[in-house]
A and B are shown apart, each in its own frame.
Chain A
Amino acid sequence: MAEGKGARPLELLKSTPVRQAVGVVSLMAVISVTTTAIAFLRVRDGLEETIQTSLDQSAASFSTARTAAELRDQVSAEARVADAEQRIIVLLSADGRSVGNAGARLDAGMPVIFAQPEDEQLSEHGYEFRVIADDRGTLILGETRESVNEVSRVFIAQAAFSLVPTLLLSLAAALVIAARSARRVVGIEGTLERLTAGDLKARVAEDPARTDDLARIAGGLDRMAAAQEASVAALKQVSADIAHDLKTPVQRIAVLMAELRNQTGEGSPEAALAERALAEADRAVAVFQSLLQIAQIEGGGPRGRFRPVDLSAVVATFADIYGPAVEDSGHSLAVDLPSGRPVHVRGDKDLLGQVVANLIENALRHTPNGSTIRLTLRQEGTSVVLSVADNGPGIPEAERALVLRRLYRRETSRTTEGNGLGLALVAAIADLHEARLQLSDNAPGLVVSLAFSTVAALPV
């Protein structure tokens, strides 16, 4: 498992496995609580019913006494053997006397009982009462609610000592397992990020003993990364082989031409021919070099070298390098930079410099004398826009996408210098830097602009 990136608790809550675990445990809790509650209610109802039945039976047993005296005798006989803690039997006679195993009175029709004699033990759970008032007196029967209270206590205890710990334990276990999955997901994410950033050696490298879905995804990602690395390596090897096989003969031609030039003596027509042949060999190499460079950039390799680069300094450097050359060619160069403030983007300084150089060269080559080339760097929110504008003939809208292609040359510029790779290289470098490249009308002329996202400071 890739442990590079630790998962923060708050981020863990956002991960799918953790959220699913919490969901499942919550559902389990709701089901458990509901079934326990239903069971409790049913048991309690049964007990209540038993109490009522028992009251019904006692009431029925006293209905046989016909007179107040008979009833009093029956009550005092029954009360003598009944445990007041379980059962209350009291008869209030019309003359105010009472018999039974407890003291009682009626308060707004509701019976209130008290211990009589005083050391009598009454149930602490309270009683369910039945009051039968007729000409024989007021008979108060009570059944203890102990069984009902006891069952509530048992259910509450069960919830406290069994259900809650079970749920907490399951939640903890689920979270641990889910967090482990989430960490594996973070590992896979991190690997993907490193791969996109150009680190072709990045792998998830899960334990091969694992065979679950995450392990399969991780395995698939690793195989894909290995294939990509292999193809980039193959491209590199092929490029190297072609470079060697092509450039060695070109170098030999250059060597032979130089010898020819030295032997024929300076200023002779033969020496001039040798010079021209050398220049052509150089052009062939320049085209090849540019194609090779575009291929390397499109492979994404240079991303591994990205650092914060002060784009403002890069533009200033190239404005300085090209200044005299631009003036000598009859053009003028205007530079518009954010005043004295560095503008950092993540990238490769050499490649960004090449963008500026190629755009200046492009403008120089395709605009007539007297044209102005304007380099601008402008902050727009969190992005910075580099633009190179000229007031030359411009490029018709239909052709703007085409000029970014490799080796494309406009009909009107066939005769000018250049190899049709300058803008293609700019496009490849823009792509590598995730910069938005746009060609637009400067009315008249062409504006090429690249929008980069800026980085806050220079951490290095």
Chain B
Amino acid sequence: MKLLLIEDDKTIADYVLAGLRQEGHVVDHMADGRDALSQAMASAYDVLIVDRMLPGLDGLSLVRALRAAKVMTPAIFLTALGGVDDRIEGLQAGGDDYLVKPFAFGELSARIGALGRRPVQQAEATVLTADDLRMDLIRRTVKRGDVEIDLLPREFALLELLLRRKGRVQTRTMLLESVWDISFDPQTNVVETHISRLRAKVDRPFERELIRTVRGAGYKIDG
């Protein structure tokens, strides 16, 4: 993907740049808000990564200006502020996602992945598959090969989400947002226990493991 990173802190910018380039993205970097605005208007990007506190022009105003100019490139805010108000402010300004500092690189990478490929969601699909696993969304059944797997409604929802976003990492916070519609990360690792219950049914009795843990990031089912 072609990304634009707008971040004035050099240490953080270098780290994010190195990480994203290592993942195969083409990344431009700007440290000043005003320069970034003209850059984002001039070239086409897949995702913008915008720090909220910037010299020249703050991140909120930058995204607001872009939206006013009908530049709808998905934007993810990086911010030191973590209040509910701040998150809502960011989304109202036209941001698509919001990441509070300090963040793990895996979280940023997963969220960029989710934003950049947003349009290709097969909402109309009635059967989701991965390897020998088949999920029938109408009959609400899951099978691996010929073996029927009995899932609780919540486990079904979790597996459905991982299948719909096959090949992309889903972080704990992304799963909490999508499956339970909550926007904070509890101290106890609640998602891990849900995943391990799901694995006990979907993976453990079988030879090949489908749900993979991505270190420092989250979970994914390979596409």
Contacts and interface: CB of A to CB of B under 8 A. Distances in A.
A46 B80 CA distance: 96
Interface residues of B, number: 35
Contacts of B189: 325
18 contacts: A251-B9, A251-B12, A256-B11, A258-B104, A258-B216, A289-B82, A289-B100, A293-B82, A293-B83, A317-B181, A321-B176, A321-B180, A321-B186, A321-B190, A322-B188, A325-B189, A354-B184, A361-B186
Interface of B: 9, 11-12, 15, 53, 80-85, 88, 100-105, 154, 176, 180-184, 186-190, 193-194, 196-197, 216
A247 B85 contact: no
Contacts of A328: 193
Interface stretch (A33-41, A345-353, A447-455): A345-353
Given A322-B190, A325-B193, A417-B187, A258 B84 contact: no
Interface of A: 239-240, 243-244, 246-248, 250-256, 258-259, 281-282, 285-286, 289, 292-293, 296, 301-302, 305, 317, 320-322, 324-325, 328, 348, 350-351, 353-354, 357, 361, 364, 417-418
Q: In the complex, which of the residues B15, B80, B101, B105 has the most CB atoms of chain A within 10 Å of its own CB atom?
A: B80
B173 to A, nearest CB: 13
Given A255-B15, A322-B188, A325-B189, A248 B101 contact: yes
Given A293-B82, A302-B84, A361-B188, A324 B12 contact: no
A255 B15 CA distance: 7
A296 B102 contact: no
B18 to A, nearest CB: 9
B186 A357 contact: yes
Contact of B182 (A244, A289, A321): A321
Q: In the complex, which of the residues A282, A354, A418 has the most CB atoms of chain B within 10 Å of its own CB atom?
A: A354
B80 A248 contact: yes
**A-B pairs with lowest CB-CB distance, top 9:** A251-B102, A324-B193, A247-B80, A255-B15, A243-B80, A244-B80, A325-B193, A252-B11, A254-B102
Nearest to B85: A301
Contacts of A361: 186-188
A417 B102 CA distance: 21
Nearest to A251: B102
Contacts of A248: 9, 12, 80, 101
A247 B102 contact: yes
Contacts of A282: 102
Nearest to B215: A266
B174 to A, nearest CB: 14
Nearest to A328: B193
Contacts of A301: 85
Nearest to B197: A324
Contact of A247 (B15, B101, B176): B101
B100 to A, nearest CB: 8
A324 B80 contact: no
B82 A243 contact: yes
Nearest to B19: A258
Contact of B11 (A255, A325, A417): A255
Nearest to B105: A258
Contact of A240 (B11, B80, B194): B80
Given A252-B9, A350-B184, A302 B85 contact: yes
